[in-house]
């Protein structure tokens, strides 16, 4: 018996974004299948539990019989066997962002979170605040929010919160993903140079952010980091939407005063009036800024400000955002999705404020495209100023030498060539009382959990 073709087949289904697309399509009642080069848990397990057929590799026969629609992830390029077959057979295809924009977002009040840093945390925060205040939002997050346990859901309210990435949409659509989302409320969290594989300069990225600004309606709202000069340049190109800014060190409509040096407690002030005090588990000045952005966006949607602040006490960090993996013999082990020197610096500064004079040991993998290309090499050592010991994973295929970075690190720094050597060094150099932070935006060969198992009693 020949099986009926699925309504959707997703190329690159095991990425967080495309896996979220698959989950949303399944909630909409679509039959869904997909393939990827690497099909393995936990994403494979999550998708299979939703009744989604997963296929290993990009083989043309996976598209036989032809699906109703092919949804193409941005990891897919020309030369991919399945994509070449789809083109030759004139199969109907869309990008993931276009499918999301047309199939889900067109009928919702969209709240989009953009920025170089903090998108996943701020998107999770905003979804949580709306949910805790009864709005029952849908969301798609580029990670797994601990408060929800899934990266995407439709929700049954009118709000949909989406992480709005500036990375390009697909091999056939080089615009940033976020131009497909048409938000009513857009958060511009921060803006620095990144994605050196597709952008030549900061000005290029600013131009893409202005494309997003152009799509926000006049009766919508822009929530903008008032401390970010690059975002000020973006708005100076033209703005047709009311703007509310958030800041700690500058005047803004939304401000925070730190009540604890590590950012675990802060006061929220709106237009000069105290809204309330927040006490939560997140750390760092950067997370206070993320919270301000989420509160401001929630209030633009219609949530009471005091209720939004109170909701923070129940917020749990998304997985891999300073996620405490284990604690053994006084050693605390964290897993962090580090992708940029600024993110590294702000994360470690928050931890330093918490641990005081306690030792911080960083295991760092330069994994993002920009880091692997060396675009951030000069900024890496300064970003590690709060680390006492850095173990730098310089794999043989890294196209630049780590020697200059190692030499410039304030504390002790050691280069290792593979995961086994890194774990050996950690066991040799760590001691009770240390905070060990694994920093990578890739899988890091499951190093945080392997180390936890190795030192477990």
For 5-48, write each residue's pLDDT tens digit. Answer: 889 999 999 888 999 999 999 999 999 999 998 776 667 777 88
Give residue 300's pLDDT.
98
Confidence of residue 92 (pLDDT cuts 50, 70, 90): very high
**For the domain 323-455, what is the CATH superfamily, name and number?**
Mur ligase, C-terminal domain (3.90.190.20)
How do the domains of the chain map onto residue ranges? 8-96, 104-314, 323-455
Residue 55: per-residue pLDDT: 93
pLDDT tens-place string over residues 335-367: 987 767 877 887 888 788 888 889 999 888 877
- Return the pLDDT at 374: 52
Which is nearest to 100 in space by CA: 171, 36, 8, 219?
8
Report pLDDT digits (tens) over 444-457: 878 888 988 888 87
Burial 251-285 (b: 16+ CB within 10 A, else e): ebbbbbeeeeebbbebebbbeeeebbebebebbbb
Q: What is the pLDDT of residue 351?
A: 84
pLDDT at residue 396 above 80?
no
C-alpha span between 110 and 184 (Å, rounded): 5
Q: What is the pTM of this model?
A: 0.81
Identify the pLDDT of residue 1.
Answer: 38
Phi, psi of 431 (to 5 degrees): -150, 170
Residues forming a β-bridge with 245: 224
Helix axes 229-236, 202-215, angle to 10 degrees: 60
Average pLDDT over residues 69-88: 96
In this prediction, residue 173 carries a pLDDT of 95
- CATH H-level superfamily of 104-314: Mur-like, catalytic domain (3.40.1190.10)
User: Is the pLDDT confidence value at 178 over 90?
Assistant: yes
Size of the chain, expressed as the number of residues it contains:
457
pLDDT, tens digit, 9 for 90 and up, residues 270-308: 999 999 999 998 888 889 999 999 999 999 999 999 999
Residue 372 confidence (pLDDT): 55
Interval 146-168 mean pLDDT: 92
Sequence-separated (6 or more) residues with CB below 8 Å from residue 281 = 264, 315, 316, 317
The CATH number of 8-96 is 3.40.50.720
pLDDT digits (tens, 9 = 90+) for 221-273: 999 999 999 999 999 999 999 999 999 989 999 999 999 988 899 999 999 99
């Amino acid at each position: 018996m020949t099986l009926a073709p699925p309504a959707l087949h997703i190329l690159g289904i095991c990425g967080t974004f495309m896996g979220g697309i698959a989950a949303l399509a399944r909630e909409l009642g679509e039959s869904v299948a997909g393939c990827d080069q690497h099909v393995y848990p936990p994403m494979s397990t999550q998708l299979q539990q939703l009744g989604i057929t997963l296929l290993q590799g990009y083989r043309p026969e996976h598209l036989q019989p032809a699906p109703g629609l092919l949804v193409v992830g941005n990891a897919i390029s020309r030369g991919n066997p399945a994509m070449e077959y789809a083109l030759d057979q004139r199969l109907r295809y869309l990008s993931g962002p276009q499918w999301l924009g047309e199939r889900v977002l067109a009928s919702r009040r969209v709240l989009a979170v953009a920025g170089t840093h903090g998108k996943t945390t701020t998107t999770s925060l905003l979804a949580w605040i709306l949910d805790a205040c009864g709005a029952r939002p849908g969301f798609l997050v580029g990670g797994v929010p601990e408060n929800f346990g899934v990266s995407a859901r439709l929700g049954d309210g009118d709000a949909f919160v989406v992480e709005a990435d500036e990375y390009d949409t697909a091999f056939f659509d080089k615009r940033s993903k976020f131009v497909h989302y048409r938000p009513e409320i857009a958060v511009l969290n921060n803006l620095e140079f990144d994605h050196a594989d597709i952008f030549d300069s900061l000005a290029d990225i600013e131009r893409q952010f202005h494309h997003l600004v152009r799509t926000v309606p006049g009766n919508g709202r822009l929530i903008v980091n008032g401390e970010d000069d690059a975002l000020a340049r973006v708005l100076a190109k033209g703005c047709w939407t009311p703007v509310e800014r958030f800041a700690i060190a500058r005047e803004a409509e939304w401000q925070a005063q730190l009540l604890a040096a590590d950012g675990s407690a802060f006061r929220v002030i709106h237009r000069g009036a105290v809204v309330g005090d927040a006490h939560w588990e997140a750390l760092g000045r950067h997370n206070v800024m993320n919270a301000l952005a989420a509160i401001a966006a929630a209030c633009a949607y219609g949530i009471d400000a005091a209720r939004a602040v109170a909701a923070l006490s129940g917020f749990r960090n998304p997985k891999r955002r300073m996620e405490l993996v284990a604690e053994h013999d006084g050693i605390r082990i964290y897993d962090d999705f580090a992708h940029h020197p600024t993110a590294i610096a702000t994360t470690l500064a928050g931890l330093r404020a918490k641990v005081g004079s306690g030792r911080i040991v960083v295991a760092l993998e330069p994994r993002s495209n920009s880091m692997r290309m060396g675009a951030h090499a000069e900024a890496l050592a300064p970003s590690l100023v709060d680390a006492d010991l850095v173990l730098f994973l310089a794999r043989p295929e890294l196209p630049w030498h780590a020697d200059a970075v190692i030499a410039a690190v304030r504390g002790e720094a050691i280069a290792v060539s593979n995961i086994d050597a890194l774990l050996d060094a950690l066991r040799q150099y760590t001691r009770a009382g240390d905070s060990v932070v694994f920093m990578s935006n890739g899988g890091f060969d499951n190093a945080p959990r392997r180390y936890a198992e190795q030192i477990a009693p």
